[in-house]
Structure 1
Amino acid sequence: MRIHAHRFLIPAGVVLAGLTVALTAAAYPPGVGILAKNRSCASCHVSNGPWGDEARTIIDVLDEKTKQSLRGPDGAITIAVPRGASRTVLTVLGRAAGDKTPPRRNAWLYVDPSQIETSALSKFAPGWDVNLPMSCRIVGDRLEGYEGVYLTVLPMTVRPSDAARDAELELQVMLTAGKAVKGKAQEGLISNFFVRKVLLKVLEP
């Protein structure tokens, strides 16, 4: 059975309000701007893992239908959507095969840095609805063209409302292994932190 993500699309503020009630301030990735005013994951966690080399690290966003990358020559990822329409993309994160110790889980969030210090419940771009702006997922997903890769793949649907404008986000990513110590973010967990620029573009009819 195929699930159409856009049917379940709700304002980002509603999603994140629920997270605020359900999670503690020590949790990640909601610790960035939502449960605390941290600027990034690196505010709490150290980037001390063995996966820091960019050449073997996979961070990409694909169109769900075509499986084509939305990353441009400059490395920025552009998600262009007609106003009022929905578009689903795939967040693809991982490492090329061959690591002696591969990451166990990947954590990520899409955040508008200009919203972190505000009182807005959503830290996504204002006026944009989104159903999954963050997640933490165990490695092991499969995707054609990425055979033998330690990977996580998850869809995200966005929709620009009447109030939406072009915006610039950060895709903050942590590749992790180990077990975090509750209340001691720099103990137990090994991780590497990465950031990618994401451009949201509103296409007018």
Structure 2
Amino acid sequence: MTITLISGANRSLGLETTRRLIEAGHTVYAGMRDLSAGDDARALGAHPVQLDVTDQSSVNAAVAALPGLDVLINNAGVLGRSHRVDDLDVAAITEVFETNVTGVVRLTQTALPLLRRSANPVIVNVASGVGFARWLTTPGHDEFKVPSVPYAASKAAVIALTVQYAKNLPEMRVNASDPGYTATQFNGFSGHQTLAEGTAATVALALIDQDGPTGQFHSREGVIAY
């Protein structure tokens, strides 16, 4: 039995990832800030668990409730309230980093003792092409037209975190996924990809074994070369 914990699992990409991994045979603990939003995850056969990645006590309780852990998916993320330099301040970028970056570290560090007991420990960090400098600077990519500073910077940090965690944890498979521009509530359903396409890389990386890649960044089309 493969036990998986997914943060931000009550809707959109997190809920679809939950569905697909349950279908693949995983026992999924669906982390969410508000358990009253857990009906959809529960209907899929997931075990909803209260999880706010900005709150250490919540993270501690969620991890303590697990019977074990093989796969951790750091999916929780926020877009933030600042989208251009003119409305940017320190509070705005701190808000985004607290969930998208510090939250990844908080949950990962708390989960490491359980992951270290697994025969096949896997971590997947849901990043974004918006955090990939080459795409931010290449006309024609969806990411090129994105002006947001906090979100882009936070996802760049997630990609760097993934590389450094992989170096530090050679016994684990640690990778980052890029959902791509997917139609979700996050972007007002403006994306051109389906949820199935947006979760393809995350699910594929969650299903790898000990011979799988580590320290890589993947889209649904495969590895993204740094």
Q: Into which bin does the TM-score normalised by the smaller protein fall? A: under 0.3
TM-score (norm 2): 0.24
> Which structure dedicates a bigger proportion of its chain to helix?
2
TM-score (norm 1): 0.26
